[in-house]
Structure 1
Amino acid sequence: MSTSVDPTESSRPTDHKLSQPPMTGEPGGEGEVRDRATGKVVAMLGNPNVGKTSIFNRLTNLLAKTSNFPGTTIDRRIGKVELRQGRSITLVDLPGLYSLDASSPEETVTRDFILGNPGPAPDAVLIVVDATNLQRTLFVARQALQHGCPTLIAVNMIESARKRGIEIDLTVLARKIGCPVVGISARTGEGFDRLKSQLDVLLAGPPMPVLIPCDAPDNTPCVAENALTVISDEEACGSCRVCPYADGHLWASALARESTRNGFVASDETTDRVDSFLTHTVFGPMVFAAIMLAAFSLVFYFAQFPMEMLDGGFASLSAWISQWLPEGDFQSLITDGIIGGVGGVMVFLPQICILFFMLAILEDSGYLARAVVVVDRWMRRVGLPGQAFVPLLAAHACAIPAIMSTKVIENRRDRLAAIMVIPLMTCSARLPVYSIVAAMLFPSQPLLAAVLFASAYALGMVAAFLVAFVLKMTILPGAPSPLILDLPPYRTPSLRNALRYAYERGWMFLRDAGTIILLISIAIWFLSTYPKLSDEQFAQDLASRNVVAETLDEAELENLRASADQEHAIIGRMGRFVAPVFEPLGFDWKISVGVMTSFAAREVVVSTLSILYGLGPEPEDESTLQQRLSSATDAQGNPVFTTATCVSLLVFFVLAMQCLPTQAVTKKETGSWGWAAFQFGYMTVLAYVAAWAAYNIVSSFVS
């Protein structure tokens, strides 16, 4: 065998690392990793789709914590693994990657973590490779060995290799590489006892020497005397050739040939035939559309029942607490502010969890990678990578988890472009507004109402692609990164991993967005409650409207009082203050109040308009609200919700950023409030200009 060690990989300077704050004991920092460990720290490394997550879950018994690398938005998972005689280690699951050459943020933070730059290096590295495709997945193992890390290699999917007729000689593989090698199956649990035993042995003794085969005259392996020393060609063997990048893959390919029998190539004719169909320029998009339609239909279908249960549960909780607390501001704060705020978040949790569960199933099966190939040829034309299509689809449920899912996009420029346009997709919170506007414009024409509804969806998607193209031409120049994607083998999805993934993402949604929404809900309650309108002021207000209280029944008087309270409170005064700003869009001050409150959460506008137009906080049904809004008039007796105003309102809600929790998640994923502010600013300006244009165009055609 003729192989060599590439000095461009092994001797590369290590001082060009991503800037990070010192890893002390802050949450998510290196101090947290060390503080939680009762033993040593092992870093888990490997390509995407080699089963790292499944192995991690089995070793840690699903008891793990997800946090970010310090100073970054890149996830790592930390868990505790119990070994023999009560000893334990801390296992850190690093991002899946194909190289340690630090060409992406994930590769940079992984490389720095392994080298201990900054902070201490891990005590050992557990590298996961794919038994059905050794020649591809061994490349990263070679790079880790060149850095002198004490290493254990886990050859996963050993049972899949046997089914394909691939026999791997683990003894030969271990001797050639120069470190322990264990064959395992994350699906069946085969080999995990031996894996733990080998980890225990590796960490118990002194660092093992690293063996790098080369073509020395005596055909002996190159031995590093100190496993923590980086090996270069000159140090290891004077006769090794110098060849950039290709040498690493040639080494992995040759090693796979020498350690396997009956073939080492994972792909087969059946897989190739299926791929040629699923990635076909004509049939591929058709299959993709059908699968995604089915997947998202299941999301909404299965989420309906738990969402209704949660909604009813919070309503019952609010009613029960109202019975025990005396009427007043404190009761209103608890029931309307806190419980209402938390309930508003929790009601969408089933939809989010089921969405991520379905995406995990599609990814684990191997299909999602094929879908990315299908859409990449379209998305690249407007400056978006193919990997952005799944987050854009997910945004039709909620922008928050969609933005979180952009972690699958490796290139930072591409990730930023996707994050900037995701909120333009129609989320479920916009649907009440679409329904009300469609009902007002076409009360007895359901077909036209459906066309308007679909047009709102289309407007959001077209706007997203146009904005992406503008970003490509301006502040985010350049074409998306070429799609270099390794198509994983088709597998039976793991329900265990999909459930775990859905749980983790659901918890992250509650943790990151729930707190923000709770605070916003309390703030909206305060602004809508104070200052109080006294009875004398209410009587004067009725007199100014020439309304005699005695001629009204109790319900009408209560609704008028709610409307007057809202107008007198801070939120009502803010609405009158900003009314001149929204007047060119055809909005009166009451609609302006609804728009202002909707910047906290879009769905708030319906309840706000309900109160301001005298129906109380909970109208009997949607048709009642639609009829009241359709018949509403201004001081001169002119209709408030004209055709032009309705279209303007619809366009504004399609395009505006009216979700502060989304802004918080944008800040978290981009690492900067600047990008969140830019997103809010451009979407607000776009919504305003488009709504103004829509109002004037429709007004010129409809009197």
Structure 2
Amino acid sequence: MQANKNGKINIALVGNPNSGKSSLFNALTGLNQKVGNFPGVTVDKKTGAATISATLQANIIDLPGTYSLYPKSADELVTYDVLVNPQGEELPDIILIIADASNLKRNLLFCSQIIDLKIPVIIGLTMMDIARKKGVEIDEAGLERELGVPVVSVNPRKNKGIPELKKIIELVTREKQSAPPRDFIDSRALAPELITDIKKVVPVKSDYAALHIAVNHNELYFLNAAQKETISRSVETHQFNKTKVQADEIMQRYARIKHIMRNSVVEADPLQKQLQTEKIDDLLLHRFWGYVILLVIMAIMFQSIFWLASFPMDWIEGGFGALSGWLSDVLPQNQLSDIFINGIIAGLGGIAVFVPQIMILFGFITILEDTGYMARISFLTDRLMRQVGLNGKSVMPLISGIACAVPAIMATRNIENRKERLITILITPLMSCSARLPIYTVMIALVIPNKPVLGILNLQGLVMMGLYLLGFVMALIIAAILKIFVKIKEKSYFIMELPVYRAPRWMNVGTTMLQKAKIFITDAGKVIMVISIILWFLASYGPSKKMEAVSTKYEQLKTAQPDKTEDLNRQEAMEKLANSYAGGLGHAIEPVIRPLGFDWKIGIALITSFAAREVFVGTMATLYSVGESEEDNDATLREKMHGATWRDGRPVYTLASGISLMLFYAFAMQCMSTLAIVKRETKSWKLPAIQFVYMTALAYLSALLAYQLLS
């Protein structure tokens, strides 16, 4: 076996959903992971580097989970394409199949299909502890003999079996173990002439791969038009009935699996005692208490985001304030130091202060996924989803939307029903994503009192939870409306396997938190830093006549009133900002947004944050830094915003304007990336345009109503 041009072997990680595949991926790669897209499609591609031995490095490709090699969704089609494409860049040197030992019979169907592709295979058995609790005993050596491929038990959650797995990977790489020596079933006998024809058109390694190309050639990305045409003619010539062939194949596989199970697996009496997981589900999936518990869990999560994050946030905010003040004292007063302090440092501080909350949010989400509770949320809300024209499959993209709408919209590809998928795409951005969290945090801290409720809850945390619930409720309302207008009729089914409950893997939680913090700082930080520097320029410079007039005016005032120099410096800075290019832009749109309680500075932030919602905070940090005098450089952003006033002395940030601004950002489509991904998923600008218009209108009207009622 040869390594690729980078000196690494490609290992494809495949398996059924909830089989422990992601856990093993994290155990093998640690923090050496990256997420992208597969070529030509918008499905997540998760890859990572792993050290197998001192002389062997591997590129691990975590493929979307699937129950069989016959794809039913776009995610499964990507897995299929990587495994069947004989000339693909991602073609694996080794396929590592993760099989759930507690549901071995079902997992062996997929394993048997992979074996027949004639690519070197290793089977990793997970959930062995759960299998033993069920009374299932597996003869690993016997199973290995029956399948003809290496079998090793692993527990990635406890890092057990990983060294043994790496040794087997090294052995396979050195060709001491090769591709499976025998077919699991005789694939050629299912369509001998057709398989011969296809092998002449596509250079596949196995008869079984050729059979799959015959079944799915019209959907495969790697086949060109001429190949598809040739295969179609051959299919027609040989009167190939793919439904009958698939049925025959599955029956043959299960007959062989039955034999293997009888020889290698000892199963417990089916009337065994109910598992602990089922007992827990009796409570957590209860028709009444299940929803109560869900709300309690959400309340704990959002209370913790405020309570736990408050300490590091205060330290970071105070640190950046002190740093700005110190730099103002030690650096010479010139344009270079000004852009460094009021552009770069202010923008960096505006993003860094929210890292603790981002980490805590993703930490909780990872714990919910790790324990198996996230899948229960989908099951629990299926009935509610059906009332608005969706089903439980739509819940996972909506929940993912709490992190980011872009991967959440891509996750809708596993929704087979076209109507439900389109509606889910259109409503997912209404879920409050992590980019909105900094805006909520700043505004809640400014206008919502930090006081206890019922002795144990915090009002600020409850408001935060309310904003997230509001997004979910509005998504359901819009879905119910869209159900009337989207005229696609397809039957919908929701079948979900609920994983067993497990203790969270704290190493995995920590890894995820660090990854998300890194992504937030690097991805969002790049945009914010660029916009902060551009804003510094626009806020520091303006039409020469206006700026000169302001300078002349205040020079005369300082000469006439030397005892008021400090106040005059502050007024001069504010007036220069108001007459700058940024100020002109803000004042131009102020008549439109003033009925919402927004001033021209907020108007600038509304425009810049269309690049990414979290830019709002960086924009405000830059504007208030440029607009303040040198004496105020060590003040925090919240302190500067708290002191902001209209021309008549009224505070800008009141309860009415704060609620108005939070509602605007809760509903507005302030994200170019989301619109771009909706266009890619729907292959049209029509739906993104509809989405932008309805969300902007909803945001404006909600903010207007809130401000007029509360002011």
Q: TM-score, normalised by structure 2?
A: 0.75
CA drift at 1:542: 7.0
In 2, the alpha carbon distance for the partners of 1:646 and 1:355 equals 23
- Structure 2, unaligned stretches of length 5 or more? 190-195, 213-237, 416-420, 450-457
CA contact (8 A) 1:207 1:227 kept: no
Mapped pair 1:429 → 2:439: yes
Structure 1 equivalent of residue 179 of structure 2 = 207
Q: Which of the residues 696, 699, 710 maps onto 1:684?
A: 696
CA contact (8 A) 2:423 2:479 kept: no
In 2, the alpha carbon distance for the partners of 1:241 and 1:449 equals 57
CA contact (8 A) 1:46 1:97 kept: yes
CA contact (8 A) 1:424 1:460 kept: no
Structure 1 equivalent of residue 498 of structure 2 = 487
The verdict on how the C-alpha distance between 1:492 and 1:115 changes in structure 2, with shifts beyond 3 A counting, is: same
Mapped pair 1:416 → 2:421: no
The verdict on how the C-alpha distance between 1:148 and 1:246 changes in structure 2, with shifts beyond 3 A counting, is: same
CA contact (8 A) 1:133 1:264 kept: no
Question: Which amino acid in structure 1 is aligned with residue 96 of structure 2?
Answer: L
For 1:315, what is the secondary structure of its paired residue? helix
Structure 2 equivalent of residue 505 of structure 1 = 516
In 1, the alpha carbon distance for the partners of 2:140 and 2:462 equals 62
Summarize deviations over 1:436-483 as a string: whole Å, max 9, x none. Answer: 5668xxxxxxx9999999876665444333333344444696689643
Mapped pair 1:141 → 2:111: yes
In 2, the alpha carbon distance for the partners of 1:448 and 1:548 equals 50
The verdict on how the C-alpha distance between 1:147 and 1:667 changes in structure 2, with shifts beyond 3 A counting, is: same
Structure 1 equivalent of residue 21 of structure 2 = 52
Alignment of 1:453-492 (within 5 A): 460-474=471-485, 482-492=493-503
Structure 2 equivalent of residue 559 of structure 1 = 570
Mapped pair 1:112 → 2:81: yes
CA drift at 1:130: 1.0
CA drift at 1:83: 4.7
Alignment of 1:540-555 (within 5 A): 550=561, 553-555=564-566
CA contact (8 A) 1:152 1:181 kept: yes
In 1, the alpha carbon distance for the partners of 2:43 and 2:185 equals 34
Structure 2 equivalent of residue 663 of structure 1 = 672
In 2, the alpha carbon distance for the partners of 1:61 and 1:612 equals 45
Count of paired positions:
639
CA contact (8 A) 2:86 2:205 kept: no
In 1, the alpha carbon distance for the partners of 2:398 and 2:187 equals 50
CA drift at 1:549: 6.2
CA contact (8 A) 2:136 2:267 kept: yes
The verdict on how the C-alpha distance between 1:261 and 1:628 changes in structure 2, with shifts beyond 3 A counting, is: closer
Summarize deviations over 1:653-672 as a string: whole Å, max 9, x none. Answer: 543345xxx43366468757
The verdict on how the C-alpha distance between 1:149 and 1:192 changes in structure 2, with shifts beyond 3 A counting, is: same
The verdict on how the C-alpha distance between 1:461 and 1:201 changes in structure 2, with shifts beyond 3 A counting, is: closer
Structure 2 equivalent of residue 300 of structure 1 = 306
CA drift at 1:98: 2.1
CA contact (8 A) 1:82 1:88 kept: yes
Identical aligned residues as a percent: 31
The verdict on how the C-alpha distance between 1:364 and 1:542 changes in structure 2, with shifts beyond 3 A counting, is: same
Question: Which amino acid in structure 1 is aligned with residue 44 of structure 2?
Answer: D
Mapped pair 1:326 → 2:347: no
Mapped pair 1:230 → 2:230: no
In 2, the alpha carbon distance for the partners of 1:643 and 1:190 equals 54
In 1, the alpha carbon distance for the partners of 2:527 and 2:44 equals 21
CA drift at 1:54: 2.8
Q: TM-score, normalised by structure 1?
A: 0.76
In 2, the alpha carbon distance for the partners of 1:263 and 1:358 equals 36
In 2, the alpha carbon distance for the partners of 1:626 and 1:321 equals 23
Summarize deviations over 1:154-212 as a string: whole Å, max 9, x none. Answer: 11233443344321012332333332322333244444444333333333335332331
In 2, the alpha carbon distance for the partners of 1:275 and 1:577 equals 57
Q: Which of the residues 238, 263, 269 maps onto 2:268?
A: 263
CA contact (8 A) 1:44 1:92 kept: yes
Mapped pair 1:195 → 2:165: yes
The verdict on how the C-alpha distance between 1:111 and 1:428 changes in structure 2, with shifts beyond 3 A counting, is: same
Alignment of 1:518-529 (within 5 A): 518-529=529-540
In 2, the alpha carbon distance for the partners of 1:78 and 1:496 equals 19
Larger mean Cα displacement after TM superposition, 474-483 or 67-76: 474-483
In 1, the alpha carbon distance for the partners of 2:608 and 2:129 equals 57
For 1:147, what is the secondary structure of its paired residue? coil
Mapped pair 1:274 → 2:280: yes
Question: Which amino acid in structure 1 is aligned with residue 374 of structure 2?
Answer: L
CA drift at 1:617: 7.6
Larger mean Cα displacement after TM superposition, 160-169 or 529-538: 529-538
Q: Which of the residues 162, 166, 170 maps onto 2:140?
A: 170
- Structure 1, unaligned stretches of length 5 or more? 1-32, 218-223, 440-446
